[in-house]
Copies of this chain bind each other. A is one copy, B any other.
Amino acid sequence: MKDFTYYNPTDIRFGDYIDAQLAKVVAHFGQKVLLVYGGHSIKKNGLYQRVIDLLKGFDIVELAGIEPNPKIDSVRAGVKLAQDRDVVLAVGGGSVIDAAKVIATAAHYDGDAWDLVVDRDLAQKQTMLPLVDIVTLAATGSEMNVNAVISDPSQNAKVGARCPNPPAVSFLDPRLTFTVPASQTAAGSMDIFSHLCEQYFDRSDSNDVSKGMIEGLMQTVTRWAPVAINKPDSLDARANLMWAATNACSGLVGAGTESRWSCHAMEHQLSAVYDVTHGVGLGILTPRWMQYVLDHDESTAKLFARFGHRVWDLPVLGNVHNRAQEAIDATWSWIFGLGFGMTLPEIGIKDEAHFAEMAKTAAAGGLDHAYLPLDAQAVEDIYRASITPGIH
């Protein structure tokens, strides 16, 4: 186990707390609110009107239209609106919360918000507006961490920023996710699972606190994602996915590990260039990455075999390599069952023209220190392996 520090003061209200507590929580920070949200879904399902009704009497300015893979131009628009605000209220999924985080961080910054996305030290020096959020999608876990991923399409860039504070208060009501379509439930579940994989596969195999808690969360996601997809108003399924998403990304289960988030680094390039759904990109890349790792470093078989036993309930029978392969196959099967395309061509990526450049950028993000160190060639190989069906 590596030394670590952990401090996470987000105040979580999980369940049916919005009606009773939202106005009080927001009022604690002030009356001038910047309300940030995405497209039409919260207008369609009534959440927008519910929030407006609950905040009657507050001075509310709105920023609508935050897109998936949120763009820096949306953030810039938000910063202009945020300057005289007391508090930012984000209502949406990870994209909305991510954008709101950077808006809150840049509200009193004189330069361009993109500076704070790319320069983590500079971001830490800002006085961030307090952020309250209402989560509408179980996926990124943005509701309990300082991270935000922002894209700049003008330079095909997708960058992970670090804000000075996590959200002050996050409302998580799983009932709000009953209306999430199956495809987004699937992509969100894959995102959760990937966050867990990224932290699980590290070299400190003595960190059983981390590995044990992650295995428990992996079992939770793999059990409940299919239920939520098939029965969207299952409160048990939605609650388990939502709380697993938060815990997967709060920093706690990764404490003491050394992880480089290889699949995320590779997927961010896919999203930046092709604007694909993050979770779908991860679903395609993750089993190929696993296969590449096992094929290139037999010493990883032991951890894959443990993963197979603890997460997929595979028996401890046969040699460790075969058990590792079965674990990867089981991972493939579960992702396949989520129902989205499992090759790049199926999600519209039919050329390889950008692979070399994408691989270079992804590898440069620290993948030389990943679980299996990856150079640009290795990343390119994994992209290419994602074109053809299957992993064998």
Contacts and interface: CB of A to CB of B under 8 A. Distances in A.
Interface of A: 1-17, 206-209, 211-220, 223-224, 236, 239-240, 243-244, 247, 252, 255-256
Contacts of A6: 11-12, 14
Most chain B C-beta atoms within 10 Å of own C-beta, residue among A11, A213, A247, A256: A213
A130 B5 CA distance: 19
Which 5 A-B pairs give the minimum distances between C-beta atoms?
Answer: A212-B216, A3-B15, A9-B9, A206-B236, A208-B220
Nearest to A209: B243
Contact of A4 (B15, B223, B240, B255): B15
Given A1-B243, A243-B255, A216 B209 contact: yes
26 contacts: A1-B239, A4-B14, A5-B12, A5-B14, A7-B11, A7-B12, A12-B255, A14-B255, A206-B236, A206-B239, A207-B239, A208-B216, A208-B219, A208-B223, A209-B243, A209-B247, A211-B216, A212-B213, A212-B217, A212-B218, A213-B213, A214-B216, A215-B216, A216-B216, A239-B256, A243-B256
A199 to B, nearest CB: 13
Contacts of A239: 1, 206-207, 256
A17 B1 contact: no
A112 to B, nearest CB: 32
One complex includes copies of this chain to the number of: 2
A252 B216 CA distance: 14
A209 B240 contact: yes
A295 B373 CA distance: 53
Given A216-B215, A219-B212, A3 B9 contact: no
Contacts of A15: 2-4
Contacts of A7: 9-12
A6 B246 CA distance: 12
B208 A224 contact: yes
Most chain B C-beta atoms within 10 Å of own C-beta, residue among A1, A8, A15, A208: A208
A1 B236 contact: yes
Contacts of A216: 208-209, 211-216
Given A206-B236, A208-B219, A212-B215, A8 B8 contact: yes
Most chain B C-beta atoms within 10 Å of own C-beta, residue among A6, A206, A256: A6
A138 to B, nearest CB: 11
Most chain B C-beta atoms within 10 Å of own C-beta, residue among A13, A209, A217, A247: A209
Contacts of A223: 208
Contacts of A13: 5
